């Protein structure tokens, strides 16, 4: 897929398949290499070429973005191993928060979420949120973990089971909406890097409580947690307590994914405790 050279560049066959030229390396991730390219009409785009691991759960994410429209990054073409999407030239939304404008970032984020959910999207073919949470339900806690960590994981498992047993307003979701997956472009702030999952609508904002990256003190501030819960529940028209419960459950799920099935220590255990307390307060 990539031509050999000092700096690996997309093979001419790949560029021709997508009708693009002039590749410039943007980023390398664990799954893919991203290139800024030029489309036939002269407009820029991102060519995302996946490695041996494939797209994993991002394949359904492209389908979600294409169906959602509005503030979703435009998807021009997708194959089994690559995708061509809209170029978003501006900074990520997280830069606003890190610059001391967190309330402004929170307002922008919920507007993007509302735009993604503005139209109905067919439900068939998406993985279900229950499938994701199997990782949390199967998580065990090592003997060396603190009693608080053990207690909070058990609380999270019980909470997630209750939420999933009584789903409300189920629909296709972006699935990974947060400050790093929203970037400024010519059309305003747009979401990208969707995962695509079928689940309760309130889950859409759950992961954003843990963000932005690089601001650990900010995301742990009780006042900030309360502010986001109030603003987002009102703007997104979901129950505030329900939203906070999903935020805690998602934090626990991320811990489970990161620890591969057995928990010892984790940098977000204190955040999990704060979110659980907010959800139950």
Q: Which residues belong to the active site? A: 176
CB 212 within 8 A of CB 109: no
Exposed/middle/buried for residue 229 (C-beta within 10 Å: 0-12, 13-18, 19+)? buried
Q: How far apart are CA 138 and CA 246, in angstroms?
A: 18
Residues 6+ apart with CB under 8 A from 22: 37, 38
CB 214 within 8 A of CB 204: no
Q: Where are the alpha helices (DSSP H) in the chain?
A: 12-18, 58-68, 94-98, 102-116, 129-137, 147-165, 216-219, 222-236, 240-259, 269-280
Q: How far apart are CA 106 and CA 72, in angstroms?
A: 17
- Strand extents, DSSP E, 16-104: 20-28, 32-39, 44-50, 75-78, 82-86
């Amino acid at each position: 897929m990539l031509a050999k050279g000092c700096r690996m560049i997309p093979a001419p066959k790949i560029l021709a398949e997508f009708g693009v030229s002039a590749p410039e390396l943007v980023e390398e991730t664990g799954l893919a290499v991203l290139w800024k390219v030029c489309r036939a009409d002269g407009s820029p785009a991102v060519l995302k070429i996946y490695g041996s691991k494939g797209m994993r759960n991002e394949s359904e994410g492209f389908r979600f973005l294409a169906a959602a429209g509005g503030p979703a990054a435009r998807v021009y073409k997708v194959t089994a191993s690559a995708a061509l999407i809209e170029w978003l030239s501006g900074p990520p939304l997280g830069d606003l928060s890190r610059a001391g404008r967190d309330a402004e970032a929170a307002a922008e984020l919920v507007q993007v979420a509302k735009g993604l959910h503005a139209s109905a999207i067919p439900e068939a073919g998406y993985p279900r949120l229950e499938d994701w949470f199997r990782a949390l339900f199967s998580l065990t806690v090592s003997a060396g973990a603190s009693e608080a960590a053990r207690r909070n994981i058990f609380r999270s498992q019980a909470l997630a089971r209750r939420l999933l047993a009584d789903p409300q307003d189920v629909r296709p979701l972006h699935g990974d909406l947060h400050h790093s997956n929203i970037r400024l472009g010519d059309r305003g702030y747009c979401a990208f890097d969707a995962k695509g999952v079928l689940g309760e609508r309130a889950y859409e904002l759950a992961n954003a409580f843990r963000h932005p990256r690089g601001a650990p003190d900010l995301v742990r501030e009780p006042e900030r947690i309360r502010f986001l819960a109030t603003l987002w529940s009102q703007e997104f028209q979901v129950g505030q307590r329900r939203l906070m419960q999903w935020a805690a459950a998602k934090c626990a799920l991320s811990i489970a994914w990161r620890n591969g099935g057995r928990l010892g220590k984790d940098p977000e255990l204190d955040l999990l405790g704060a979110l659980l307390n907010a959800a139950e307060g």
